[in-house]
Amino acid sequence: MTIIELTDVHKTYHLGETLVKALRGVSLGIDEGDLAAVWGASGSGKSTLLNIIGLVDEPSSGTLTLNGSEVGDMSDNAKTDLRSRYMGFIFQNFNLMPILTALENVMLPLQVQGISALEAQDKALNSLKSVGMEKFSQHRPDKLSGGQRQRVAIARGLVTEPKLLICDEPTANLDFENAERVMDLMCELNEKRGITFLFSTHDTRLIDRVKRIIYIEDGTIVKDERK
Ligand SMILES: Nc1ncnc2c1ncn2[C@@H]1O[C@H](COP(=O)(O)OP(=O)(O)OP(=O)(O)O)[C@@H](O)[C@H]1O
Ligand SMILES: [Mg+2]
């Protein structure tokens, strides 16, 4: 089943007088259960594409359908609801709140949904456990390594039990061992829990392990390879 469908999506940024065409007519379908990497050089449009799919940004033209509903027709409330219940988003720079502990960071998306603190804490601890970070629940981000921070960000993305997890460069800045662990985790969650993964990367270490590679160059998909 196709859960994400983009049709002729363009994104143009206005930088003063200059127009930057970050996406130029992207059409793409992502199926339930995919473990797909968006592969491309720096500046090719990977983050732009993921931000549009993750409802962080809007296309300049073209349509996006998520889980059967066309996003352009949705109210802001409906979009917020879809984002909060259906998908997790892990940003390129993790976006953890520095003054909160790992546990509190993972609790946040549940509290946004109005779940009680007690239940949120329980679920957040479980989510930290699933990424092997339960021992670090009381640590603030600056007391964690890059790989540990990345795993807390994944735990936060997972805590709402999303069907879809979007990750922007999940292993950027990680050493080999930590990159492997994050990749192991994504493969396991994809296989055992059926979570669909869409992530961007230019990390050659990951590319053998994914089911699908979507190559992007200069805002255009140039190749889409399923293994
Ligand atoms: N907010 C913005 N305003 C203006 N231009 C932007 C903005 N965001 C991105 N761009 C431009 O759009 C193009 C695509 O950027 P994008 O961030 O999607 O690339 P990327 O493939 O994610 O790169 P990287 O691998 O470095 O993260 C680049 O030319 C970039 O400069
Ligand atoms: Mg990027």
Q: pLDDT at position 174, please?
A: 76
To test the pocket of ligand 1, the residue of 10, 12, 14, 20 to mutate (highest count of ligand atoms within 8 Å of its CB) is 20
Choose between 45 and 86: higher pLDDT.
45
**Ligand 1 atom index nearest CA of 51:** 18
Q: pLDDT at position 126, please?
A: 93
- Ligand 2 centre and the CA of 184: distance in Å? 22
State mean pLDDT over 12-32.
95
Q: Whose CA is nearest to atom 17 of ligand 1?
A: 47
Q: Whose CA is nearest to atom 19 of ligand 1?
A: 43
Q: pLDDT at position 73, please?
A: 87
Ligand nearest to the CA of 91: 2
**Ligand 1 atom index nearest CA of 44:** 21
State mean pLDDT over 101-106.
97
User: Average pLDDT over the chain, rounded to whole?
Assistant: 92
- Ligand 2 centre and the CA of 37: distance in Å? 13
Q: Whose CA is nearest to atom 1 of ligand 1?
A: 13
Choose between 159 and 204: higher pLDDT.
159
> How many domains in the chain?
1
Confidence of residue 102 (pLDDT cuts 50, 70, 90): very high
User: Which residues are near ligand 1 (CB < 6 Å)?
Assistant: 13, 15, 20, 22, 40, 42-48, 202
For every residue of the chain, DSSP letters joined together read -EEEEEEEEEEEEEETTEEEEEEEEEEEEEETT-EEEEE--TTSSHHHHHHHHTTSS--SEEEEEETTEEGGGS-HHHHHHHHHHHEEEE-TT----TTS-HHHHHHHHHHHTT--HHHHHHHHHHHHHHTT-GGGTT--GGGS-HHHHHHHHHHHHHTT--SEEEEESTTTT--HHHHHHHHHHHHHHHHHH--EEEEEE--TTTGGG-SEEEEEETTEEEEEEE-
Q: What is the pLDDT of residues 107-135, one digit of tens each?
A: 999 998 899 999 999 999 999 998 889 99
- Ligand 1 centre and the CA of 208: distance in Å? 26
**At 72, which CATH number?**
3.40.50.300
State mean pLDDT over 48-75.
94
Q: pLDDT at position 205, please?
A: 78
Task: With a cut of 80, say whether residue 94 has pLDDT above it.
Answer: no
Task: With a cut of 80, say whether residue 64 has pLDDT above it.
Answer: yes
pTM of the model: 0.91
- Ligand 1 centre and the CA of 22: distance in Å? 6
Domain that holds residue 24: 2-226
